[in-house]
Amino acid sequence: MSNRTGRGQGFGIALSAFVAFAVGAVTALSLLLGDNPALFGDQPGSAQLAGLLALPADVLLRLVTIVVALSIVIGIANLLTTHVGRLSRGKFYSAVLLASFGFTVYWYVTRRGDTSLLEAVQVPIESALAALLCLSLLHGGSRVLGKRADIWGLLFVAVAVIVLLASTPIAELAPVQAWRDWLMRVPVGAGARAMLIGIALGTVVTGVRALLGQDRSVRG
Amino acid sequence: MDEEFNWLEYSESMEATAGDGEAPGKSRGLRRFLPGRPSLPRLRRGSRAASGPPSASDILEGQDERALADLDERLRALRERSVAASQPAAPAHQALYDVDDLLASPDLQSKPGGVISAVALSKAQERQVEMLRDIVGGPSQSQGTGGDRQLPVFSLDAAPRLLGTALLILVVCLPFVSSDYAEGELPPSVFPEDRHGPRDMYNLLDNLSRDDYVLVGFEYGPTAAGELDLLADLLLRHIFAQRVKPLIVSSNPIAVVHAQNVIKDINRSLSSADAQLVHGEDYFLLRYLPGGALGLRELSENFADIVRISARGLPTGLEFAALEEMTELLLIAESAEVIRNWVEQVLPEAEGSRLLVATGYAAQPLAQAYAEGMEQIVGPLFGIRDAFTYGEKLRATFGAFVSVEPPVGPVIEPAPVNAESDSQAELPRATQAEIEDAPATALPQPTETAPPTATPFMTDTPPAPTLTPLPTDKPAPTATEASIRIVEVTSDQRVNIRLGPTTVHDILALGYKGDMFEVIGSNGDGSWYQILLPAGVEAWIAAFLVEERVVSASEFAGAQDSASASESAARAVMQLGFTLRLGKNRPRFYQAQPPPSGDRPELALHRDRSLETPRLQAMTLGTLAAVLVIVFGNTIYALRGLLRGPRAQGR
């Protein structure tokens, strides 16, 4: 029995892998060829052909969007069931969460367009978290040389001080602003472009690996 | 690094695992390819013996599972965790794992250092985590194994952190309680000459007309509200003031609600007499786009479907065939990733439109790289200081519409921010009309030019020319009647009348052939006349475009009256009701419409600006305090390290 189950699982994995790779290949081909009549020259009907080839990618990507939206609903449902279970174990914060959820839904259903909860709860909480992050970064910045007293630590502190000082609108700090401008234009600009190139290359490599079956994050 | 991977040893161990039967001590793995090796090994398993150099396929074929003993500590830990995870841990009735149970599982809690160590970091990575934890003041592993160790609230270790925090909070609060702590200059009222992006962005939005639609990507939540709310508020006001309808969309669910909140704030700033902005008429809040980049792709591919549904799931009544029908795209985003998604997924489908980007400091470098590399992307506007400048420009432009003082109230037009703004408040509204580019009419310009520096008229007033008495060789009309020195426009083309005696000064009005203006002075070399416009506004006109004469007061008044009655009066100086708007690569003139039937300047003018200045000053003081804390703290630590010597540092 267990052998049969194992064989069934193996078949299921192979099938899911096949479906995943096939869908990926169809989507990639559809994106490459679709909506690009220039690939087919000036032949009559090339536009229709390109549109037809673009259709699979459109349909599949729309399905993905629907699945993602559905996963949010499932996530909410799972969150609620989890905390209902915790509630039975006497977890106080689960009760708070469930009550807050119910109250928020009631509020938005009965008071359409009222964003008071967002203003009174969400914005202050997230702003406070951002402020705490700022304080933590400040504290960390003041201790860098205590933990890394080398050229890189010194460079880090120097750049941080230059960028911060240059962001202050004080006329006496004009030379520092020139340094900041150079930093932002050359190293930071180069980094930003390098990130774009790196992301593009990484996306291509990941896509190819997935299509070749080397990256099996799809349970294939 | 002490755990550097050794390919030679790895290949040897792999081959040993394969068990090819070679005598121990003989070179294996990649070492055999090193120079000086006497003979080649048998790589293939089975009966076939290697008869030549092994190919890549041979090596791959020779690979087998590595022995557990060969795995380093990190890989072994990962393997153990994967084996443990493959066991059914959740009850059968539970479809998804309970995060709380996972985090509290004994497997994770038993790891020294808690969850972080449970992800099987290498020793080097653990050291880096320890260093980061120590830098930000968290409990180190050496201080205890559990994360439950509570640091006392008031301890000597926490004193520097508390002092730094207290200093920062105190300094940031000072500008809000007293104006004596103002530090630094306020942002200019116009964007500097070298920042073309924000200038083009303003002009493009200013060129929109009431038949245009703008797709607004509202991609930030409450976390970035402090940095981006002012910018979003001003950009939306600019759009609303021109009766352009924004279609607001977002791939962030909470941003959809936050956008509603920002518009609600705009409505609050309007007095009861002003019409409130109404969803479905003045703006459209479209449905949330799930899926991040895929959601944005759907927006670009299926735009017609998406604009039909509002954020509340109701029909909007909008009928658009494609994204191309949007006049412009405006993106207000907090993260670089969102900007990248918009550029990659949405922009390719919006041919003919530009993407105007407003963002925060964190995403500014990426947005700048995009704006410099792609002509279709304009901007970026970023941060509170840019928002302040944008607000000043908005106030100047739409202030020209208003001939009466704006309503006085707690939320309208607060007190001037400084002495310079006091002087600006004295200027007539028409003098606040600005342009950012050369005028569309190619008039011959005087040779005198000023250096192309930023000339914010709030802080950089036009140079005061020396007024010299005008020499006149013409006889005075009569002794009994007052004579007036005038200039008459002789150019066949429309001429510019400017705020100052250079071509870089703002244009205040236009003059046509035959128009007369009273002269009140000239610049040093006589190349410009200072004239008095009919409403009493002082302005400048180039001398080569006009002819100077001396006429009687009655003659001048008669000429003015006849001009006002004639057809030419309609195209005479359009002052106090005129604004000039120029767009990027598409200069256009716009005749201002009166507010009731055209633009809605109250949307741009009626906003609470009382906290803007203290906020900017608090930012300046806070930044200085942060620099002080960083420099002071690092100096102390560096000195302490030097005093302890290299031995203590290495510990």
Tell me: the pLDDT tens digits for B524-558?
788 889 888 766 677 888 888 888 888 887 777 77
Do strands B328-333 and B355-359 pair parallel, antiparallel, or not at all (unpaired)? parallel
Closest chain B residue to A69 measured between Cα atoms?
Answer: B290
From the list B223, B201, B213, the residue with the least C-alpha distance to B333 is B223
Q: Cβ of A9 under 8 Å from any chain B Cβ?
A: no
Integer CA distances (angstroms), B267 to B369, B372, B581, B608, in order = 36, 36, 26, 12
Residue B340 in contact with partner chain A when CB distance is under 8 A: yes
CB pair distance less than 8 Å for B291 and A164:
no
Considering only residues A29 and A40, tell me which one the structure prediction assigns the higher pLDDT.
A29
pLDDT number for residue B18: 56
Q: Domain B196-426: which CATH class?
A: alpha beta
pLDDT in tens, B587-644: 333 333 344 456 677 777 777 777 888 888 888 899 999 999 999 988 988 888 888 7
Q: Is B536 left (phi over 0), alpha (psi -120 to 50) or beta?
A: left
User: Tell me, what's the pLDDT at B526?
Assistant: 83
Q: Is B124's pLDDT higher than 90? A: no
Query: Rounded CA gap, B406 and B425, in Å?
Result: 12
Q: What percent of chain B lies above the pLDDT cut of 70? A: 57
Q: What is the mean pLDDT of chain B?
A: 69
Q: How confident is the model at residue A49 (pLDDT cuts 50, 70, 90)?
A: confident
Residue recorded with tokens 């009626």: B606
**Which chain B residue has the Cα nearest residue A132?**
B165
Average pLDDT over residues B566-578: 36
Among A143-157, B37-51, B563-577, which is the least confidently predicted range? B563-577
Per-residue pLDDT tens over the stretch B269-322:
887 666 788 888 889 999 888 888 888 988 988 899 899 988 888 888 888 888
Backbone angles phi, psi at A173, to 5 degrees: -100, 20
Residue B287 touches partner A, C-beta closer than 8 Å: no
Query: Distance (Å, rounded) from C-alpha B492 to C-alpha B511?
Result: 10
Tell me what the mean pLDDT of segment B213-233 comes to.
90
Confidence of residue B58 (pLDDT cuts 50, 70, 90): low
Q: Which phi and psi (to 5°) does residue B489 adopt?
A: -70, 125
> Is the Cβ pair B294, A68 closer than 8 Å?
yes
Contact B164 A139 (CB under 8 A): yes
**Cβ of A82 under 8 Å from any chain B Cβ?**
yes
Name the residue among B100, B164, B302 with its Cβ closest to that of A86: B100
- The CATH number of the structural domain formed by B440-449+459-579 is 2.30.30.40
Whether the pLDDT of residue A55 is over 80: the answer is yes
Give A64's contacts in chain B (Cβ within 8 Å).
Answer: 291, 294
Distance CA B630, CA B624 (A): 10
Spatial contact of B539 and B520, defined as CB atoms under 8 Å apart: no
Residue B65 pLDDT greater than 80, yes or no: no
Q: Rounded distance, CA A1 to CA B259, Å?
A: 58
Nearest CA of chain B to the CA of A74: how many Å? 10
Name the more confident of B156 and B441.
B156
Q: Does residue B649 belong to the interface with chain A, where contact is any CB pair within 8 Å?
A: yes
Task: Return the domain boundaries, chain B.
Answer: 7-70, 158-185+611-651, 196-426, 440-449+459-579
CA distance A169 to chain B (A): 5
Q: Which pLDDT does position B495 carry in this prediction?
A: 74
Residue B469 has pLDDT above 60, yes or no: no
With cut-offs at 50, 70 and 90, classify the pLDDT of residue B111. Answer: low
**Cα B225 to chain centroid, rounded:** 13
pLDDT band at B355 (very low <50, low <70, confident <90, very high): very high
Chain B neighbors of A127, CB-CB under 8 A = 222-223, 225-226
User: Is A147 close to B134, i.e. CB distance below 8 A?
Assistant: yes
Q: What does the pLDDT read at residue B19?
A: 54
Q: Which of B293-302, B368-377, B507-516 has the lowest mean pLDDT?
A: B507-516
The pLDDT value recorded for residue B160 is: 78
Q: Return residues 55-114 of B near A (CB < 8 Å).
A: 94-96, 98-100
User: Quick one: average pLDDT of A85-95?
Assistant: 82
Cβ distance of B638 and A149 shorter than 8 Å: yes
pLDDT digits (tens, 9 = 90+) for B155-186: 666 777 888 888 888 988 888 888 777 777 88
Residue B30 and residue B71: Cα distance in Å, rounded?
18
* Chain A contact set for B136 (CB, 8 A): 136, 139-140
A220 Cβ neighbours under 8 A, 6+ residues apart: A13, A16, A17, A18, A20, A21, A213
- Is B168's Cβ below 8 Å from some Cβ in A? yes
Residue B219 CA to chain centroid, in angstroms?
12
pLDDT of res. B551: 84
Q: Summarize pLDDT for B226-260 with one digit per residue, the tens.
A: 889 999 999 999 999 888 899 999 998 889 888 98
pLDDT of residue B560: 67
Note the pLDDT of residue B216: 95
B377-382 sheet: strands from edge to edge:
B284-285, B245-249, B213-219, B328-333, B355-359, B377-382
CA dihedral B108, B114, B119, B120 (to 10 degrees): -100
Distance CA B256, CA B259 (A): 5
Interatomic CA distance for residues B298 and A65, integer angstroms: 8
Cα gap B378→B357, rounded to integer Å:
6
Which position has the higher pLDDT, B88 or A206? Answer: A206
Question: By percentage, how much of chain A surpasses pLDDT 70?
Answer: 90
Q: Do A127 and B640 touch (CB under 8 A)?
A: no
Res B232: pLDDT: 94
- Distance CA(B110)–CA(B575), nearest Å, equals 79
